[in-house]
Amino acid sequence: MTRKTSTVVGILFIMATVTSILSGFFLGSFEAPDFLVSVAANENLVKQGMLVQIIWGLACLGIPVALHPILRKQNEALSMGFFSLRLIECIFVFVGVVCQLAVVSLSKEISGVVDSSIYYASGLSLLAVRDWAFWVGPSIAFALSAVILNYVLYKSRIVPRWVSGLGLFGALLYMPAEGLALFGNDKFMFLAAPIALQEMILAVWLIAKGFNSAAINSQTSQREAY
């Protein structure tokens, strides 16, 4: 069961990372100066991108669901904290998708309209909500969840400490980078690279090697002793 869980979690980590990156290739129309016209002209492509984002959100939620039976044996409170933060991430991804769907609806209304300024103002407001949703969810909630997850993994040794240690280091680098981005300074977003790399290393490790069963059983025995 533990081996199957580790494989599922590894696959979900890869799915979450790949879909978060891949969705951007479908959704460039939202960044165009004349974005309503661009979205209308590329509606199918945009909808495909939003479908990818939905898969991203579901993968984000699937990770803590699959991990909970393992993590709760190490620290139940932190396991629930990890689940809660990834749930927040998933919810805000879906908020972003809904905002984009509303922009798609707006894009269908501007054909033949003499003054489309109010449509563009509404669209910009919706995209601003989307951007804030993605900052709160896939940025801040994700970073905090990564700290919790890798702390539990580091303390329990159910994966090698160099893997979880890299995750802690990467998450702590990622948080100030996102904080600076909030104030319009995105020059340090390269600091997201370590946590992205670590998640892929962790995913491959879980698929290839799985969890350290001896460490899991040791923690379980200690809890039962108390």
* pLDDT > 80? residue 23: yes
**Quick one: pLDDT at residue 226?**
43
CA distance 104 to 50: 11
**What pLDDT sits at residue 199?**
95
What pLDDT sits at residue 225?
43
Rounded to an integer, what distance in angstroms lies between the CA atom of residue 156 and that of residue 171? 18
Phi-psi region of 38 (alpha: psi -120 to 50; beta: other; left: phi over 0): alpha
Average pLDDT of span 182-208: 87
When the pLDDT of each residue in the chain is averaged and rounded to a whole number, the result is 90
Taken in order 90, 96, 100, 102, the sign of the CA dihedral is positive
Give me the amino acid identity at 217. Answer: N
The answer to whether position 226 is within a domain reads: no
pTM for this entry: 0.89
Of the pLDDT bands very low, low, confident and very high (cuts 50, 70, 90), residue 220 is: low
Q: How far apart are CA 144 and CA 192, in angstroms?
A: 13
C-alpha distances (whole Å) from 165 to each of 142, 152, 202 are: 17, 11, 11
24/125 Cα distance (integer angstroms): 20
CA distance 9 to 159: 13
Does residue 222 lie within any of the structural domains?
no
Identify which has the larger pLDDT, 3 or 95.
Answer: 95
Q: Does some domain include residue 70? A: yes
For 183, the domain range is 2-217
- The reply to whether 14 falls in a domain is yes
What percent of the chain lies above the pLDDT cut of 70? 95
The predicted structure's pLDDT at residue 1: 58
pLDDT at 152 over 90: yes
pLDDT of residue 182: 72
In a domain, 134, yes or no: yes
**What is the number of domains present in the chain?**
1
Residue-wise pLDDT for 64-93, tens only, equals 999 999 999 899 999 999 999 999 999 999
155 inside domain: yes
Least confident of 31-40, 45-54, 107-116, 125-134: 107-116
Give the distance from CA 46 to its chain's centroid.
Answer: 20
The answer to whether residue 11 is domain-embedded is yes
